[in-house]
Amino acid sequence: MVNPLAELAYQGWQQTKNALSLTHKSLAYQLSTLFIDREKTSTPTIDPQVLSIIQQRLEALLNVDWEEANLGVYPIELLFEEDWQDFLWTYPQIWLDLPLTWQRKSRKQSHVFSSEVDRSAYPKYYLQNFHYQTDGYLSDRSAELYDLQVDILFNGAADAMRRRILAPLKQAVSHGETPPKPAKILDVACGTGRTLKFIRQTCPQASLYGLDLSPYYLRKANRLLSKIPGELPQLLQANGETLPYVDNYFHGITSVFLFHELPYKARQRVINECFRVLKPGGTLIICDSIQKDDSPEITPVLNWFAQTFHEPYYQHYLSDDLGDRLQKAGFTEVKIKTHYLSKYWVARKPEPCQTEGERAGKFLFSPETVSRAS
């Protein structure tokens, strides 16, 4: 029996994070005008109706987050885990870093890296200060600030969006007559390891693997994941376009907030590689930003984001048909959902013997779950 006070505490905590994030962004905007011309910092005049749609989408997301914890998809405690020490150290650092970000933005500098970074080790498209963030993804400092920066950007709901991969993942890896034990699950572009942390708490028996191009983000992920009991995920520095794993190896693959930062050719290559390393019957789950057609009312906000933050591939991503890309790679049964500001593609690698008819008759989600798609 779930304590109703726990639900109130969860909703109250999320509303507080939402309010604090909005206040932070408003203050940061006011201060930024000391560094950048108002014209260059233009915030969109967002129609109150659009704001209300965004707020409703946030509330719907939080309801699903609570509901799935209640249903036992993942432990309720997971919704309350906050590292206060980390927050108290990181938050002032974010303020100290902001003037540098504004300066880069004002000068349109988006390729600024320390001379210690070995540029030959990374694809050209990656060597950028995404969001004008200091050092791009290539320093310990960037890794330290990243989680809180993203959470503020999404008004305190970044983890709730990440957790939406858990229900379909759990269902997928226990799919079939004999559940594979232990399931092997890979998180592509695992960053600082937050999604892997949630997967570890949802599928405690699974063998977990994480891959990212940034050694600094992996170092932070390693610290986070080492604190959780259970087998330590195997973390590897590599490019998602050339996955260093054998064919047909994983039961499930996830990828969160990666695709909007890839040029379109790289997007297709990552999907092709996921297809190759998944076992037949395995499932790929992608979570990324919502796109233009998902909620046309919000499109001006998405366009503003593409222009204001340095996100060189986001504009193309906004109308890229990832469902089509998944099918081109060989995936079937592609299911699509959106929650708040994120979008999810759940795709299955077919079994070799599956006929078209068999494929059409199989569902990864229960009909109840499918009908909840927004």
Ligand X SMILES: C[S@@+](CC[C@H](N)C(=O)[O-])C[C@H]1O[C@@H](n2cnc3c(N)ncnc32)[C@H](O)[C@@H]1O
Point out which residues bind ligand X (CB under 6 A).
126, 137, 150, 162, 189-191, 194-195, 212-214, 217, 239-241, 256-258, 261
Q: How many residues does the chain have?
A: 374
* Whole-number Å distance between alpha carbons of 40 and 236: 39
Nearer residue to ligand X within complex by CB, 195 or 338: 195
Nearer residue to ligand X within complex by CB, 239 or 291: 239
Please provide the DSSP assignment of 313-359 as one string. Answer: THHHHTT--HHHHHHHHT-EEEEEEEETTEEEEEEEPPPTT--HHHH
Smallest distance from ligand X to CB 2, Å: 27
Smallest distance from ligand X to CB 14, Å: 18
Smallest distance from ligand X to CB 193, Å: 8
Smallest distance from ligand X to CB 52, Å: 27
* Whole-number Å distance between alpha carbons of 116 and 125: 19
Smallest distance from ligand X to CB 313, Å: 10
Q: Is residue 18 within 8 Å of 155, Cβ to Cβ?
A: yes
Smallest distance from ligand X to CB 125, Å: 8
* Whole-number Å distance between alpha carbons of 312 and 307: 9
The H or E element that residue 212 is part of is strand 207-212
Nearer residue to ligand X within complex by CB, 175 or 288: 288
Nearer residue to ligand X within complex by CB, 133 or 175: 133
The H or E element that residue 285 is part of is strand 278-289
CA 361, 365, 368, 369 torsion: positive or negative? negative
Nearer residue to ligand X within complex by CB, 172 or 243: 243
Q: Is residue 256 within 8 Å of 284, Cβ to Cβ?
A: no
Nearer residue to ligand X within complex by CB, 240 or 281: 240
- Nearest residue relative to ligand X (C-beta): 191
Nearer residue to ligand X within complex by CB, 137 or 281: 137
Smallest distance from ligand X to CB 258, Å: 5
Q: Is residue 224 within 8 Å of 198, Cβ to Cβ?
A: no
